[in-house]
Amino acid sequence: MRISRLALIPAAALAFAAPLTACSSDDAATDTETAEVVTEETAESTAEETEAVASGSDSDSSPVQVVATTTMLGDVAAQIVACANPESTATTLMPIGADPHDFAPSSAQVAEMVTAQVVISNGLGLEAGLDDALENAASDGAIVIEIADMVDPIPFGAGGHDDHSDEAKEDDHDDEHSDDEHNDEAKEDDHSDDEHSEDEHGHGGEDPHFWFDMNRMATAAQLIGDQLAVENGQAYADCGAQIADGIRAAEADVRALLESVPADQRILITDHDALGYLADAYGYEIAGTVIPAGTTLAEPSSADLAELVKVMQDEGVQVIFANTADPSALSDAVAAEVGGDVQVVQLFVGSLGEPGSGADNYISMMRTNAELISNALNA
C-alpha cells in the first residue's frame, strides 16, 4: 500500500500553513455557533456495503474518531469510516455553506480536534482560520493529515491564462497519470505569467483547491483509508479504496459534461482563483478572477476589476462563476459593468450544498457543478 508515502504533520510543519493570517477577515467568526455537523452513517445501505467490502473484517477494525475540516473531506471521511466500522464517528468542523478560507472554529470544536484520533485537513493554506487549532491538535497527539500536499498539488495558474496552454491541456485529457510532467512545465510557464498577485496576499505557491480534480479526491480517499488502517485495521484501507473507486466512476459523468463544451468556449471567469484543478483536468482556461487571488480573503482593486471587465468584453465572455459560500455582490457588479447578457452562476466551490441542493455530497456536488458549467457555456 502507500503508507510509506504518508506525510504526517509534526506541529512545527504546520507553520507552513499560516501565510494568510495577515489578511483581514472581519467575518471570520460567523457561523461558528452552528458548526458541528456529525455525519456518522447509520443507513442500511451503508451496512450492506460494509459487509460487501470487508466481510469478516469486524475483528480486523477498531472504531476511530475522525474530525475533518471541510464539508467535502467530511463527506469522504464519513463514508470511509462508516464502511470500515459502524461504531466509528466522523465529524465535520465546517457547516454547510461556510467559506473554508475564513472559517474559524468554536472553542468546543477546538477541544474536539484535540481529542480526536485523526484530524483530516485540506492544508496548503486553505483553512486560514484553523492553523492554530490544527497545530494544537497535532501537539496534543492527534494525527493531523494535510491531504492536499499528498495528492501532487499544482501551482496557482496551472489552468492557463493564455492561448499557449492548449497543447498541454489536450495532453492532460489523454493521461491522467502524467500530471507530474505537465505540472513541471506549467510551473515554469507560470513564473513568467504572473497576472495574479497572490504573492502580495501571501498566497503564492500551490493551489489547495484539489477537490476540483476528482481523480485527486479519489487518491485522497485512498490515502485517508490507508492512514486510518495503520492503527485501526485493514478494513479502513479496503473501504478507502472502495470510496475512491466510486469517485473515479462518477468522474466519467463529470468529464463527459465538461467536455461537451466546445474547446473554444471552455473559458472560465470565477470569483477567486479556485478552479485551477478543474481547468487543468478538463481542458479549460481561467481567463480571469474577480478576486485576483487564491483566497476569498483578498480584495480586488478598482484597477483589477477594470482589467477583468476589459478581458470579458474583449473575449466575449458571458458568464461569471461565483461561489455559494460567499456573497456574489462583486461578481454581480462586474457582470453589470460588462453589460449585455452576462450572467452570474453560483457554483458549489468551498462547500457542499444543503440537502436538496443537488450538491449534498461530494460526488453530487461535482456533478452539479459540471452541469452548471456545461449548461452555461453551451447556451
Residue that has been written with the C-alpha cell 472559517 in this structure: 103
Secondary structure class of 289 (helix, strand, coil): strand
The answer to whether residues 273 and 207 touch, using CB atoms and an 8 Å cutoff, is: yes
Secondary structure class of 345 (helix, strand, coil): strand
Min CB(209)–Zn ion separation in Å? 5
Shortest-Cβ-distance residue relative to Zn ion? 274
Min CB(123)–Zn ion separation in Å? 13
Q: Among residues 67 and 274, whose Cβ is nearest to Zn ion?
A: 274
Q: Among residues 236 and 362, whose Cβ is nearest to Zn ion?
A: 362
Min CB(294)–Zn ion separation in Å? 7
Q: How many CB atoms lie within 10 A of CB 163?
A: 7
Tell which residue, 156, 159, 157, 203, has the closest CA to residue 297. Answer: 203
C-alpha pair distances (Å), 214 with each of 13, 15, 22, 217: 27, 28, 31, 5
The cell numbers describing 213, all together, are 480534480
Q: Among residues 211 and 282, whose Cβ is nearest to Zn ion?
A: 211
- What is the dihedral sign for C-alpha 266, 270, 276, 281? negative
Distance, in Å, from the CA atom of 366 to the CA atom of 314, rounded to the nearest integer, reads 30
72 is a contact residue toward Zn ion (CB under 5 A): no
Q: Which amino acid is at 104?
A: A
* Interface positions, 216-275, toward Zn ion (CB under 5 A): 274
Min CB(1)–Zn ion separation in Å? 31
* Interface positions, 182-201, toward Zn ion (CB under 5 A): none
End-to-end alpha carbon distance in the chain: 45
Distance, in Å, from the CA atom of 50 to the CA atom of 44, rounded to the nearest integer, reads 10
* φ, ψ (nearest 5 deg) of residue 24: -75, 150
Q: Among residues 296 and 318, whose Cβ is nearest to Zn ion?
A: 296
Site map 25..64 versus Zn ion, x via CB under 5 A: ----------------------------------------
Min CB(323)–Zn ion separation in Å? 8
Distance, in Å, from the CA atom of 115 to the CA atom of 139, rounded to the nearest integer, reads 11
Q: At what angle do helices 234-258 and 362-378 cross, to 10 degrees?
A: 10
Min CB(178)–Zn ion separation in Å? 26
Beta bridge partners of 65: 89
Min CB(84)–Zn ion separation in Å? 30
Q: Among residues 112 and 207, whose Cβ is nearest to Zn ion?
A: 207
Min CB(128)–Zn ion separation in Å? 10
* Interface positions, 272-301, toward Zn ion (CB under 5 A): 274
Those residues with Cβ within 8 angstroms of residue 178's Cβ, 6 or more apart along the chain or in another chain? 171, 172
Tell which residue, 252, 329, 315, has the closest CA to residue 286. Answer: 315
Q: Among residues 124 and 250, whose Cβ is nearest to Zn ion?
A: 124
Q: Among residues 112 and 273, whose Cβ is nearest to Zn ion?
A: 273
Instruction: State the number of binding residues for Zn ion (CB under 5 A).
Output: 1
Q: Among residues 277 and 282, whose Cβ is nearest to Zn ion?
A: 277
Q: Among residues 35 and 274, whose Cβ is nearest to Zn ion?
A: 274
Q: How many CB atoms lie within 10 A of CB 314?
A: 9
Min CB(263)–Zn ion separation in Å? 26
Secondary structure class of 118 (helix, strand, coil): strand
Q: Among residues 57 and 69, whose Cβ is nearest to Zn ion?
A: 69
Min CB(148)–Zn ion separation in Å? 12
Q: Which residues bind Zn ion (CB under 5 A)?
A: 274
